[in-house]
């Protein structure tokens, strides 16, 4: 007979290794940027610009993928429901 894994007990918890790794990685990155800023003073501006671009792309993802895409799908569904004789994506203007 196969032994199924037992559910984890509430008394034992695992250490937050992911949070610790992110914290250490952020600290090491900040230390590297700080040391590089001594040699190249413009690196701080490049890091700020990089964070700005990252924030821009994250906002674009949430804007288009999470909010606007369902709106566009709903609008397409409603437009094809108004024209029952045509296949989706094909209009009478496309006829030769």
User: Which whole number is the average pLDDT over 55-64?
Assistant: 90
Residue 40: inside a domain? yes
Residue 6: inside a domain? no
The pLDDT assigned to 55 comes to: 95
pTM of the entire predicted model: 0.47
Domain count for the chain, please give it.
1
Residue 35 is part of which domain span?
18-82
For 6-48, write each residue's pLDDT tens digit.
766 666 778 889 999 999 999 999 999 999 999 998 998 999 9
Residue 95: inside a domain? no
- Indicate if the alpha-carbon torsion angle 84, 88, 91, 92 is positive or negative: negative
Residue 9: inside a domain? no
Residue 60: inside a domain? yes
Residue 91: inside a domain? no
Tokens of 91: 């209009």
Residue 2: inside a domain? no
Residue 31: inside a domain? yes
The answer on pLDDT for 57 being more than 60 is yes
The pLDDT assigned to 89 comes to: 56
- Show the 3-state SS of 62-92: HHHHHHHHHHHHHHHHHHHHHCCCCCCCCCH
For 63-87, write each residue's pLDDT tens digit.
888 888 888 888 888 888 777 665 5
């Amino acid at each position: 007979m196969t032994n199924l894994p037992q559910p984890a007990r509430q008394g034992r918890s695992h250490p937050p290794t992911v949070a610790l790794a992110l914290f250490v990685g952020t600290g090491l990155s900040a230390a590297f940027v700080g040391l590089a800023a001594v040699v190249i003073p413009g690196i701080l501006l490049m890091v700020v610009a990089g964070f700005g671009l990252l924030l821009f792309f994250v906002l674009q993802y949430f804007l288009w993928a999470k909010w606007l895409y369902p709106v566009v799908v709903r609008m397409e569904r409603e437009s094809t429901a108004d024209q029952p004789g045509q296949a989706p994506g094909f209009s009478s203007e496309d006829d030769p």
